[in-house]
Each structure stands twice: as structure tokens, then as C-alpha cells.
Amino acid sequence: MPSELKKLAKRNKALKQLEDISNKEEHVLIIHYSCESFYDRPEGQTLRVTSIAVRNYASGQTSSFSIHKVAELKGVAFGDIDAEYDRLEKEMLKEFYQFMSQHKTYDWVHWNMRDINYGFPALEHRFKVLKGKPEELDESRKFDLARALVAIFGNKYIGHPRLIKLMEINHITARDLLDGPGEAEAFETKEFVKLHQSTLRKVDVLANILGRLIDGSLKTNATWRDRHGVHPKIILEFIAKHWVFALVTGIIGVSSAVYGFFF
């Protein structure tokens, strides 16, 4: 069973990061991206990226990078996008990393963008595959909102899929937003604009959730104990880990009682 002390430490760390973010909102960016289907990938090659959206938390201004926008600028007809995909994707990622290089001192809030399947490493690897040189964003600048919510409220704070369930319980509209299977279908049918609209909507949703988390109005299924990080086992674990402190405290307590009895 997970240590309650470790869970408390993770909770406090997440709250501290959240406080830091709330104190410099104008230097906080929220990122999300869409890619081709995660399913039916027996060869294991990395997923092609279709669109990326980055929103400034304070101003709400969003910078977007997408296949169809690059195609339009390059004079590539919609029907020819598939044949020119790698070239267009490389140009899109190049624009994105130029943007990142100008905002490396900002904090980047994301939702589960952690690994080679989906995340910053996946974007970096994809750009390298296309013979590009990605910018490296320091880990201290990345804030995983999905993990932070688990750290603060516990694993049972909401059902799965968590983002969709959070939207439902907080009455956040799902207009233009596609779930995983919906995005996969949109990619297969080459609905790139639809995918891009979904990506833009998701950064809006993440900004909404972040704002409610900061001001304390976010609704979840977490219990009072989970919301405040209180668990009786914490005391027992602390005593077991710091037995010398507990022993000295106990001796002082007994000595005080004896002194009070006789004097």
C-alpha cells in the first residue's frame, strides 16, 4: 500500500507548484496537441502530429500550429496533403519549436504529455525523424495538470476518462472537443480542421480547469479527507519513521505528567 507520508509530500509539492503558477500567470502556457490514431500501430513507429495549440493562461491568446494551415501557406491543395504530409509536418514542428525557443522560461501546463507515446518526448522524436532539431524544455518548466490533480485529490477524485468526467461535473461545454476514438476517426478521414478545433478547445478546457483549481472552485468526487490530505495512517507512519522523536516526545510527556502529579 502506498505510503501516506509520500502521498502527502507529493500533494504539498503539487500545491507549491500551483502556487508558483498562480503568482506568474502571464508567464504560464497551456499546451495540447493532436496526432494520428494510437490504435493499429503494429510497427511501433511514432505518431504523426496534426496540430498543436499553446494558450497564454493570463491573456487567453492562443498560438496554433497545424497541418492544414501550413498546407495553405505552402500552396498545397487539401487533396494533396497526405502525399506531402512529412514536409508539411516538419514545417509545422519547426514553427512550434521556434515558438518554444522564445518561451523557454515560461511554465508549460499540459495533460499527460509525459512519454514517447504522447508527450514532449514524442514531439521531439517526431521532429528528429523528420531531420529537425527540437528545442529541449527543462523538466522544471513542465507542469502535468493530470498528475497534479491526482496528487492533490487522490486517485479516486474522478472517474475515467478523467478529463471528460471533470468537464461533466463542472459543467464545462464539450463543443468541438473530440475524445480519443473521435480524434482517431477524424485523422483517418483527413478532417484536419476538425482535429485542430478539438485541440484548440482542449487548451481552453485545461485553462478552465486550472483556473478553478487555483481559486478552489473545481468540483470533484474527492472526499473531505482526500481534499485536505488528512489520513490517520500519517501519524502512525511518522512515529514509525521518526521513532527517536516519538520516544523523546513520549518521555517529555510522561515527565510532565509525573511532575504535575507530585508538584
pLDDT tens per residue across span 76-87? 999 999 999 999
d(CA 106, CA 141): 7
C-alpha cell at 243: 521513532
Q: How many CB atoms lie within 10 A of CB 224?
A: 7
What's the predicted TM-score (pTM) here? 0.85
In the predicted structure, residue 139 carries a pLDDT above the cut 60: yes
- Quickly state the pLDDT bin for 261 (edges 50, 70, 90): very low
Alpha helices for 32-84 (secondary structure H): 67-74
| Strands of the sheet with 107-110, listed across from one edge | 62-66, 49-56, 28-35, 107-110, 142-144
What distances in angstroms separate CA 28 from CA 13, 61, 63, one per listed residue? Answer: 18, 11, 13
Residue 224: predicted pLDDT: 83
Mean pLDDT of 89-105: 98
- Quickly state the pLDDT bin for 45 (edges 50, 70, 90): confident
Residue 233: predicted pLDDT: 53
Mean pLDDT of 59-69: 97
Residue 179: predicted pLDDT: 85
Mean pLDDT of 230-244: 51
Backbone CA torsion sign across 87, 92, 98, 101: negative
In the predicted structure, residue 260 carries a pLDDT above the cut 70: no
Lowest mean pLDDT among 18-32, 38-52, 186-200, 244-258: 244-258
In the predicted structure, residue 254 carries a pLDDT above the cut 50: no
pLDDT in tens, 202-227: 999 999 999 999 999 999 999 988 77
As a whole number, the mean pLDDT across the chain is 87
In the predicted structure, residue 263 carries a pLDDT above the cut 90: no
Q: How many CB atoms lie within 10 A of CB 113?
A: 20
Residue 36: predicted pLDDT: 87
In the predicted structure, residue 177 carries a pLDDT above the cut 60: yes
